[in-house]
Amino acid sequence: MSVPAPQRITTAAPDGNPDGNPAGTPATPPAPRWGTPGRAVRARTARLLAGALLTALVAFALLGPLVWHQYSGQDLSQFLQPPSPAEPLGHDHLGRSVIARLAHATRLSLALAVLCVATAALAGTALGLLAAWRRGWLDQLLLGISEVFLALPALLIVLIFAALASGELWTIYLGIALAQWVEYFRVVRARSVSVLTSPAVEAAGLLRLGPVHVLRRHLWPELAPVLLTMATLGMATAVLAMSTLSYVGVGLTPPTAELGLLITEALPYYHEAPWMVLAPVAVLLLLLVGLLGLRSQEVRR
């Protein structure tokens, strides 16, 4: 780490003539942007709200199972008990605590979504960078494979895997990750090709700065905001895909607490205990709103 001089001089810099501008205008580091401040404020508020919502949901998913740890214990004497202070969402048709099941379901959905997105993003980004860097036949091969995946509907890929071993968690994980890596691959590849052929990277090549510099200073700053956006969107898709599969009965199987399963199980009792259906739907909705709220901010950046 040999950068002694810069810091010292920066702090000593007078605010006289920062950009050599003969007009001698006061120092305003970034060049003036003619934008409306109102939009930025609103976007920041939206992001804060979305962040708070997500934090609350994550806290519920992490702490909820500790508070209400009995999510599969049946007690038929509690059949469809309405909400009470001790059991904020009452009991289901088998007398199980609904809030405990909801907390476990939320934890499962979030954990699986994070895992799927992390796997898909890592694999897709790595392959996209490889294709953009090497070009040639490798690029063509990877592009061909990605096109095969693109041609199939994402849910169909997940369904095929889910059908291999019905109700197993790993098949759902693998299916969703396989359906999602393609978009990371294609976006990363397309962006990286344009970055790698830019004059800035050409100049870095002439300066012999090497691949680590290109990755850190040119590719990563360009890709990171897009990847973040895609990851939040991908989380939402993963959560939805998983609950859709359970809802139609090809995903996880009953004793497990899962958002889609909770809805299916509660549907017959909608008239007697509407809170049982509405609670998982609300969690799903809030989760998606939170994730998409974060995303819109990333796009504007």
Q: Which is nearer to another protein, 10 or 77 (CB)?
A: 10
* 228: contact with another protein by CB under 8 A: no
For the bound state, the minimum distance from the C-beta of residue 147 to another protein, rounded and expressed in Å, comes to 26
132 contacts 139 by C-beta, under 8 angstroms: yes
Q: Which is nearer to another protein, 4 or 85 (CB)?
A: 4
Report the alpha-carbon angle 178-180-182, nearest 5.
Answer: 90
Total interface residues for another protein by CB under 8 A: 41
- Of 153, 210, 254, 274, which lies in the binding site for another protein, with binding defined by CB under 8 A? 210
Which parts of 28-87 interact with another protein (CB under 8 A)? 29-32, 34-36
For the bound state, the minimum distance from the C-beta of residue 265 to another protein, rounded and expressed in Å, comes to 49
* 136: contact with another protein by CB under 8 A: no
Tokens 């405990």, located at residue = 100
Residue 77, H or E segment: none
For the bound state, the minimum distance from the C-beta of residue 266 to another protein, rounded and expressed in Å, comes to 48
The residues pairing with 97 across neighbouring beta strands, listed in sequence order, are 91
Which parts of 147-206 interact with another protein (CB under 8 A)? 198-200, 202-206
Exposure string (b/e) for 174-213, b if CB count within 10 Å is 16 or more?
Answer: bbbbbbbbbbbbbbbbebbbebbeeeebeebeeeeeeeee
Q: Which is nearer to another protein, 19 or 75 (CB)?
A: 19
41 contacts 287 by C-beta, under 8 angstroms: no
Q: Which is nearer to another protein, 265 or 298 (CB)?
A: 298
CA gyration radius for the chain?
Answer: 25
Residue 276, H or E segment: helix 274-300
* 299: contact with another protein by CB under 8 A: no
The CA distance from 273 to 96, in Å, is 13
Stretch that binds another protein, among 12-20, 118-126, 230-238, 285-293 (CB under 8 A): 12-20
The CA distance from 182 to 122, in Å, is 11
Q: In 3D, which of 122, 141, 138, 118 has the Cα closest to residue 130?
A: 138
* 211: contact with another protein by CB under 8 A: no
Q: Which is nearer to another protein, 7 or 77 (CB)?
A: 7
Interacting residues with another protein (CB under 8 A): 2-6, 9-10, 13, 17-23, 25, 27, 29-32, 34-36, 198-200, 202-210, 213, 217-218, 221-222
